[in-house]
Structure 1
Amino acid sequence: MKAEQPGEETPSLELHGVTRLPEDTNCLACSEDGRYLCLGHSQGLSVWCASSLIRVAEWLQDRLEITSIQMTIMTETTYLLGSVDDMGVARVFAHQSDVIYLLSVINIMEDINKRSIFLTFELSEGGHYGAASVSCNGAFWLEVYHFPLAAWLKELEMVQSQKQDPDSPGDVDVKWSPLTMIIKIKLPKIAAGRASYGLPENSQTDYLTHCLALDTIRNNSCQSEKTSFNRDSGNTKETNQSQRRCTPHFLLPCGQFPDDHRETFQPGLPVAVSVWWSGSHNLLQYLLHKTQKGKPGRIFISDVEPMPDVVWPNAKGILCSAVSRCTRYIALGLDDALVCVWDRQSGAPLSVVLVPAANSPFLSVQFVDYWPVTAAELHISTAEKIYLLVLCKSGEIHTVTTGRRTQSCTMQLTQRLKDSRDIPTITTSVPFLQGLSLVVQRNGKMFVQDVINKTTVCFLTPPTSHLIAAPCNPVYALNTKQQTLFIRGDQDSSCSASSEEDSQSQLFSFCFAESDLMKQYVASQQHQTLGPVPPEETCSLYLQQRALSVDERNKAVRQTWEQLQETAVTVQQRQQSCSQPNNINK
């Protein structure tokens, strides 16, 4: 790949205006097979054919504005949709035969004073589960739902057969099977006194309790400092611990699980959800279902507030996270510019990397699925090489290369930006292009960046009459099957529209596969580094890694405990100092 030469002008490629968008289109989503686009807008949502961009179905309701939308495949012809509106109400839909069916309104508001607001709502791939971040009267928690897909498919089939029956009435009233909340996760609260300053040796439960208690100590210390600062400054408002929000990730089968759980696992279905809370040092994992001893089959977790099944402790607080496509690896962006990658298969950190980003907290971290492989590397197994893209709040962008038996290294792509308008709001790896990322800045500029050669490949610009809509929160979707970008553009206020129709928002597209400039970057499947691995190969690799990494894992555990002990002692000393008012007055 040829690097940009000094003085060489970066080419600009124009986006194509393809169609007018419904009023106030707030979100876009694309199905995994690339066949459909789903649009959330005022008065409801609609589904469009991604190739012809013809609206094939819509669901409308007055005084409703959809602000978040997701789409996943249930069967070859049936799709599940999840949405959140501007009032924080979540809904689940099915799209089949060019009809949208409302299956469930999850948080119906019976008492407006006790209503739960859904801040986020995410579907697992395949639509078996959904996770909702919920707020109610200042408290936050996570709810995980199981969807009765088999029952819904039968009910959809019944609706289709009744519609085809000439003797049936026009409208078919169906009572859809209810979904089930299988787990409600709150911020674990463990008494600080239960944290020992030695290495727990009794059981795994002692270890989990120790880590959670240390997190409680840190949080209480932080709250005490904030309260003391507010008191000294005359501000009596105290920070509520319940304001800590959580970030979930669905996880596929991988790593070590109890023997009585293995038979319940199904390929492609999530088995657990990982959660971290803002301000926490711990990454928590909860199983989505468990088995009862002596009884076949699986049961869902009860309404009792659950304890995590696995805790991954970190020396610093978690700021952001990402999960690899196969969900084996979890990358965490931590305080003090640390990136930790956990390997779920071995149950230990794969690597901890220091990124040279001083005084610039992380904003996001993500995996790069496709990375160019040189001719010299073709004979070397690159299955365990991991590539990450890290975005800082200052606008700096870094790449991280790491992995087992790999020397970790970092590279800075962009410097700290002086003008806040140049700070990226979107920096995302393009799944089907090797080593390229799509960047959208606050000033509305959009370009494709080569993260290997640290060059700008090209700018993507709408026609002069339009601008990228809401560049601080762009409305866009990447169709990986068609290798196409869809993004919303608005009429430039400095250009007068000839008609009311021209002033409407437009859907713009750019097909990377049709661009001669992009053809050299198109990824082939053989360079896929983080895809699914056959079970036999996974087992063989796991046994080899466990045998070769015994000393490494023991050393990592000792170092982690030493860091936790030092942190606990420091926090305890700080609390004792704060509890002595005479010293403070002096």
Structure 2
Amino acid sequence: MEAACKEAEKSRWETLEPSVATELPESTNCLSFSEDGRYLSLGHSQGLSVWCASSLTCVADWLEDRLEITSIQMNRMAEMAYLLGTIDDMGVARVFAYHCDSIHLLNVVNIMEDINKRSICMTFELSQGGHYGAASISCNGAVWLEVYHFPLEAWLKELEMAVSQTQEPNSSEDMDVKWSPLAVATKIKPPKTPEGTALEGPDEVQMTDFLTNYLAVDIVTKSCRLDKHSVNTDEEKTKETNKSPRCCTQHFLLPCGQFPGDSKAKSQPAEFPVAVCVWWSGSHNLFQYFLQKAPKSKPDVEPMPDLLWPNAKEILCSAVSRCTRYIALGLENALVCVWDRQSGSPLSVVLISATDSALCRMQFVDYRPVSTDDSQTFTTAEVHLLVACKSGALHTITTGRGTQSCTMLLTERLLEPKDSGDLPTITESVPFLQGLFLQVQRNGKMFLQDVINKQTVCCLILPKTHPIATPCNPVYALNSKQQTLLIRGDQDPSYRASSKEDSQSQLFIFHFGESDILKQYIVSAPYSPQQQKTLSFVTLEETCNLYLQQRALCADERNKAITQTWTQLQETATMAQQGHHRAAAS
């Protein structure tokens, strides 16, 4: 009866069908819109293409045999000039430029000159505005992060030179243009404790400074874990911990105005990153490095982190707000810590659920109207997070300084193997639909869900002839400017005219802005909430005043938490004492 009721409820859901479909190049693996929503970039076998987003027609392509692009990102670097960052199936990262209906290869990031020292690019990210790029590189078991500074001004001049060459009657190519090379801003390796630091146990570690203290915490924690599974000596455990391959996650950070180095960016555009934050798998610590070129006198010196954000548990996932003021970290034991870069202190630490599995993804969500009263900036400061667990459970978190943290379960965890098809593969907030997020399940179902009311607003239905391609890893892109969703669908073999007919992929488009179902959720443009306005605090006194003001506003909440903790401790002590008396009596 319960299952029948659920099916009846699902049948009442509104449906939304795509309005446009166009054929895709063979093996299209990735899509990405430019920041202004004017162009769509596609990575596929034999290269990449740039399409006009409004007409969905190809305006330029760059093709090469036996090359397959698996990751692509497109950012605008100037008026009618765009940067593209790609990774191919061999782990080679490249930087392209789209300008005047042409695509130019500017640089190959990790050129493999020696086959025995083949480096593989695992991730490649362009910063907003295209000023920097970050690539995580793996080579012979070692992993590091390289941050590059792009010579945008030089590239723009060289692009104009290339255009002038193609306009000459005797020349149609830009082979003579010498593109300016990338400059390595910093090269970051996994942190390790300095030689001579004792690692026999938490009480035996000899700390020489603040950084060594927190690095030692990571090493000691790993050593304790190794003790449970092996009988290695202390020296072997330390060597294994320091040399084991580690993955990194990085986020570019915009100016926030409260730390040294941020003040240097006052004369730079607001979208110019000033720092990058990095955490490594298995670590408790988030590191922040200011973006500056390595000194020519000491190019090989490993940079030390300028800031360190310590956490009580191991970091599993992370997210950064649109203005990069807030950094959210998903920790072990279902803990979520939100750091406030402006005050340099935790905004909140929230326990989601002790019964759920490990956290795997998180994202900041903006879904509530904000007050235009600037005086309410501190008292109404709230952030909203969408957190996904490996079990399939979804939670929302509403928290802030001076407010009571609130968690809400959106989707139940999956308990039986038969429900594995309902496991979400994509859970993403839609910035132009207020309070809605897009979810794609492993079984190919797509729907939009209301974060506040926990209701499914509508299901997105593709034609039966073309189900979602690779639902475990869908190929899709959201255009915030045109308020659309593009997703790839592959032809169902049962609908082919003959078994020999090739399967043709289609690009389907959902116009959310034209749907009557979604009109009440549409916002004109992605907005930044009031609480995410970054103010400029360049002196220590101003920063301290902000911190003390925020501490005063959250005093009631902290007092309640202390009272609750003491009550729990008293109850636990009473239960333990009663158990001791029963054991003694028996």
**Range into which the TM-score falls when normalised by the shorter chain:** 0.7 to 0.9
Write the distance in 2 (CA, Å) between the matches of 1:276 and 1:164.
Answer: 48
1:369 aligns with 2:366: yes
Write the distance in 1 (CA, Å) between the matches of 2:219 and 2:70.
Answer: 35
Write the distance in 2 (CA, Å) between the matches of 1:46 and 1:514.
Answer: 27
1:338 aligns with 2:335: yes
| Within-5 A mapping of 1:2-13 | 9-13=12-16
Letter in 2 for 1:247: T
Label 1:176 to 1:194 Cα distance change in 2 as closer, same or farther (>3 A). same
Task: Report the counterpart of residue 582 of structure 1 in structure 2.
Answer: none
Q: Is contact 2:202–2:220 with CA below 8 Å preserved after alignment?
A: no
Task: Report the counterpart of residue 165 of structure 2 in structure 1.
Answer: 162
Task: Report the counterpart of residue 83 of structure 2 in structure 1.
Answer: 80
Give the SS at the match of 1:453. Answer: coil
1:193 aligns with 2:198: yes
The aligned length equals 536
Cα deviation, 1:28-53, whole Å, max 9, x if unaligned, reads 00001110000000000000000000
Moved more, 259-268 or 420-429: 259-268
Letter in 1 for 2:443: N
Label 1:116 to 1:264 Cα distance change in 2 as closer, same or farther (>3 A). farther
Letter in 2 for 1:19: T
Selected match of 1:112 from 88, 110, 115: 115
Task: Report the counterpart of residue 443 of structure 1 in structure 2.
Answer: 443
Write the distance in 2 (CA, Å) between the matches of 1:317 and 1:11.
Answer: 42
Task: Report the counterpart of residue 234 of structure 1 in structure 2.
Answer: none
Q: Is contact 2:202–2:217 with CA below 8 Å preserved after alignment?
A: no
Task: Report the counterpart of residue 248 of structure 1 in structure 2.
Answer: 250
Label 1:189 to 1:390 Cα distance change in 2 as closer, same or farther (>3 A). same
Letter in 1 for 2:488: R
Task: Report the counterpart of residue 512 of structure 1 in structure 2.
Answer: 512
Label 1:497 to 1:510 Cα distance change in 2 as closer, same or farther (>3 A). farther
Write the distance in 2 (CA, Å) between the matches of 1:521 and 1:38.
Answer: 28
Q: Is contact 1:253–1:265 with CA below 8 Å preserved after alignment?
A: no
Write the distance in 1 (CA, Å) between the matches of 2:186 and 2:71.
Answer: 23
Cα deviation, 1:137-181, whole Å, max 9, x if unaligned, reads 122111111111111001011111222233556554211000012
Letter in 2 for 1:98: D
Give the SS at the match of 2:467. Answer: strand
How far residue 352 of structure 1 moved from its aligned partner, in angstroms, is 0.1
1:25 aligns with 2:28: yes
Letter in 2 for 1:40: G
Q: Is contact 1:188–1:307 with CA below 8 Å preserved after alignment?
A: no
Task: Report the counterpart of residue 233 of structure 1 in structure 2.
Answer: none
Moved more, 382-391 or 4-13: 4-13
| Within-5 A mapping of 1:406-485 | 406-417=403-414, 418=416, 419-485=419-485
Letter in 1 for 2:368: W
How far residue 258 of structure 1 moved from its aligned partner, in angstroms, is 2.3
Gaps of 5+ in 2: 1-6, 233-239, 562-586
How far residue 389 of structure 1 moved from its aligned partner, in angstroms, is 0.1
Identity score, percent: 62
Letter in 2 for 1:163: T
Moved more, 54-63 or 142-151: 142-151
TM-score by length of 1: 0.84
Cα deviation, 1:255-276, whole Å, max 9, x if unaligned, reads 4322696267623211111000
Gaps of 5+ in 1: 230-237, 293-298, 560-586
Moved more, 323-332 or 209-218: 209-218
Moved more, 341-350 or 533-542: 533-542
Label 1:502 to 1:169 Cα distance change in 2 as closer, same or farther (>3 A). closer
Cα deviation, 1:538-570, whole Å, max 9, x if unaligned, reads 9999565323245799999xx9xxxxxxxxxxx
Task: Report the counterpart of residue 405 of structure 1 in structure 2.
Answer: 402
How far residue 242 of structure 1 moved from its aligned partner, in angstroms, is 2.5
Write the distance in 2 (CA, Å) between the matches of 1:72 and 1:435.
Answer: 26
Superposed CA RMSD in Å reads: 3.4
Cα deviation, 1:476-527, whole Å, max 9, x if unaligned, reads 0000000000000001123224798883100001010000000100125696
Cα deviation, 1:232-256, whole Å, max 9, x if unaligned, reads xxxxxx8884322100000111143
TM-score by length of 2: 0.84
Task: Report the counterpart of residue 547 of structure 1 in structure 2.
Answer: 548
Write the distance in 1 (CA, Å) between the matches of 2:262 and 2:128.
Answer: 25
Letter in 2 for 1:165: E
Q: Is contact 2:51–2:60 with CA below 8 Å preserved after alignment?
A: yes
Write the distance in 2 (CA, Å) between the matches of 1:527 and 1:38.
Answer: 25
